């Protein structure tokens, strides 16, 4: 039996109103999404393209009111966190899973009730989609509860975009689905596509919307800016009302900060470590009588330590070493390489002069637990402290009790905290 469209619209409006009253931050974001009924053929549950909230009336009819609030907030957070603009080179299905794994714990911790088959993994709590993505297996059969239709099936990048086959997704029988629809895409510009994000917040008429067209690059950029502004405005209002949870506040603060690639941050530290200065030594008489300053550079001593406990993948280690190699020549750095799990690797240290390529030894050993102290104990036994120590790790191990008197930079994969030193988030 087909649900009464008016009753479903009333249910969605009631859930949205309850969010505005109880969760003003989430409610303000949900208010920005027009609610559009969609054809079950491509939308078995709910969906968003960053322009509208699409829903299958049968699915919404089977949800409780608290579960309806959850799914509204879920789609709004996909938009507010600009998941539609952050995928870049990543495989679409894995990225969709990572986005749901990132969002759902936030909503549960905020007191919302997830519908059946929502993706929830405690280990991913507090992590961003970028941090979760490399932890997901390439052939993970999990399916997202909703449809992320801001990308096409080919996505423009990211390799294979195939998803598990579609299943009936009603909450009493169904399962999550990541299917993006395999049929011919309808013409653009049809009613119900969602239009701009500023449309009226309820769909007019009862006709189901066709599957929306993917975002163009210009639309993606424009919507990303709009949603960032909406995110900041909603957060400010909720903070003033004292109704923003700590987890949400930390996430928003991170997202609104300027984001720099880890390579750029690493380059800045290398440049700062370089001891460049001007010299006013008297020149040779053949150079003339004027004494002009000249730039003199001294060789920089850098210790690079890599965690070989098994938490860092070889491809990530190769990428890191390649970046260090390109930087060390620019600042005339003499690099001492150490590999360590619970103890220093056999054969360590390996020393590379500024003119030599930094190449990993054939075998680094490792695979045991993680202890950072052997590296710092080795440095302490040397005649001279380095200008910089760079440690590549997941930060899950035993640290020295005190920080050394030289700069330490941690390039961290994951969310583990560090007790001292400077941190660069790898992913």
Residue 391 in domain = yes
Higher pLDDT pick, 420 / 200: 420
Are 38 and 101 contained in the same domain?
yes
**What's the pLDDT band for 210 if we cut at 50, 70, 90?**
confident
What residues pair up with 307 in beta bridges, in sequence order? 340
**What's the pLDDT band for 173 if we cut at 50, 70, 90?**
very low
Q: Which of 210, 228, 256 is the last residue in one of the domains? A: 256
Which of the listed ranges 28-37, 116-125, 154-163, 192-201 does the model predict with the highest average pLDDT? 28-37
Mean pLDDT score, 125-154: 81
pLDDT recorded at residue 368? 73
Are 249 and 333 contained in the same domain?
no
Are 203 and 122 contained in the same domain?
yes
The region of weakest confidence among 10-14, 248-252, 334-338, 367-371 is: 248-252
Mean pLDDT score, 22-40: 86
Is the predicted pLDDT of residue 395 greater than 80, yes or no?
Answer: yes
Is the predicted pLDDT of residue 335 greater than 70, yes or no?
Answer: yes
Residue 188 in domain = no
Residue 362 in domain = yes
Mean pLDDT score, 370-377: 94
Distance, in Å, from the CA atom of 244 to the CA atom of 25, rounded to the nearest integer, reads 7
pLDDT recorded at residue 375? 95
Are 61 and 86 contained in the same domain?
yes
Residue 129 in domain = yes
Mean pLDDT score, 29-38: 88
Q: Which of 221, 241, 256 is the last residue in one of the domains? A: 256
Are 219 and 251 contained in the same domain?
yes
Is the predicted pLDDT of residue 205 greater than 90, yes or no?
Answer: no
* Token pair recorded at residue 129: 């989609």
pLDDT recorded at residue 372? 94
Is the predicted pLDDT of residue 374 greater than 60, yes or no?
Answer: yes
Are 203 and 289 contained in the same domain?
no
pLDDT recorded at residue 239? 65
Is the predicted pLDDT of residue 380 greater than 90, yes or no?
Answer: yes
Are 276 and 242 contained in the same domain?
no
Is the predicted pLDDT of residue 169 greater than 60, yes or no?
Answer: no
- The mean pLDDT value of the chain amounts to 75
Residue 241 in domain = yes
Residue 62 in domain = yes
Higher pLDDT pick, 318 / 35: 35
Are 144 and 55 contained in the same domain?
yes
Is the predicted pLDDT of residue 285 greater than 60, yes or no?
Answer: no
**What's the pLDDT band for 272 if we cut at 50, 70, 90?**
low
**What's the pLDDT band for 202 if we cut at 50, 70, 90?**
very low
Residue 100 in domain = yes
**What's the pLDDT band for 296 if we cut at 50, 70, 90?**
very low
Are 247 and 282 contained in the same domain?
no
Mean pLDDT score, 84-95: 86
Are 291 and 222 contained in the same domain?
no
Instruction: Report the chain's terminal Cα–Cα distance, integer Å.
Output: 48
pLDDT recorded at residue 219? 85
Are 239 and 298 contained in the same domain?
no
Q: How many domains does the chain have?
A: 2
pLDDT recorded at residue 275? 52
Half-sphere exposure of 333 (CA within 13 A, CB side): 28
Residue 187 in domain = no
Is the predicted pLDDT of residue 325 greater than 70, yes or no?
Answer: yes
pLDDT recorded at residue 376? 96
pLDDT recorded at residue 195? 38
Are 235 and 335 contained in the same domain?
no
Look up the domain containing 210 and give its range. 5-182+193-256
pLDDT recorded at residue 177? 35
Q: Which of 209, 229, 256 is the last residue in one of the domains? A: 256
């Amino acid at each position: 039996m087909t649900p009464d469209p008016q009753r479903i619209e009333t249910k969605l409006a009631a859930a949205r109103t309850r969010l505005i009253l109880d969760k003003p931050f989430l409610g303000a974001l949900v208010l920005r999404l027009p609610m559009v009924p969609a054809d079950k053929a491509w939308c078995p549950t709910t969906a968003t393209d960053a322009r509208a909230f699409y829903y299958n009336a049968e699915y919404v009819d089977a949800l409780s009111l608290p579960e309806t609030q959850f799914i509204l907030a879920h789609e709004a957070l996909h938009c507010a966190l600009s998941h539609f603009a952050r995928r870049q080179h990543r495989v679409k299905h894995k990225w969709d899973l990572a986005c749901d794994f990132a969002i759902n714990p936030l909503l549960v911790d905020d007191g919302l009730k997830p519908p059946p088959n929502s993706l929830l993994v405690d280990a991913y709590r507090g992590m961003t989609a970028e941090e979760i993505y490399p932890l997901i297996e390439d052939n993970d059969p999990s399916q997202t509860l909703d449809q992320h239709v801001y990308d096409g099936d080919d996505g423009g990048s990211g390799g294979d975009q195939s998803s598990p086959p579609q299943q009936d997704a009603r909450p009493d029988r169904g399962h999550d689905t990541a299917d993006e629809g395999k049929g011919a895409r309808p013409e653009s510009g049809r009613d119900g596509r969602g239009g701009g994000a500023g449309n009226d917040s309820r769909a007019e008429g009862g006709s189901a919307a066709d599957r929306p067209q993917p975002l163009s690059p210009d639309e993606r950029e424009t919507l990303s800016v709009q949603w960032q502004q909406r995110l900041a405005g909603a957060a400010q209002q909720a903070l003033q009302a004292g109704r923003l949870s700590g987890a949400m506040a930390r996430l928003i603060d991170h997202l609104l900060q300027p984001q720099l690639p880890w390579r750029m941050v690493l380059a800045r530290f290398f440049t700062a470590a370089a001891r460049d200065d001007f010299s006013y030594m008297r020149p040779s008489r053949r150079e003339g009588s004027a004494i002009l300053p000249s730039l003199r550079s001294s060789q920089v001593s850098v210790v690079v330590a890599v965690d070989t406990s098994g938490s860092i993948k070889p491809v990530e280690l190769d990428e890191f070493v390649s970046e260090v190699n390109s930087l060390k020549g620019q600042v005339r750095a003499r690099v001492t390489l150490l590999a360590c799990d619970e103890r220093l690797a056999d054969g360590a240290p390996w020393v590379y002069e500024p003119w030599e390529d930094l190449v990993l030894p054939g075998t680094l050993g490792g695979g045991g637990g993680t202890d950072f102290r052997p590296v710092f104990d080795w440095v302490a036994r040397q005649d001279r402290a380095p200008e910089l120590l760079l440690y590549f790790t997941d930060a899950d191990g035993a640290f020295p009790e005190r920080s050394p008197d030289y700069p330490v930079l941690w390039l961290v994969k994951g969310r583990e905290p560090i007790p001292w030193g400077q941190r660069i988030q790898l992913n």
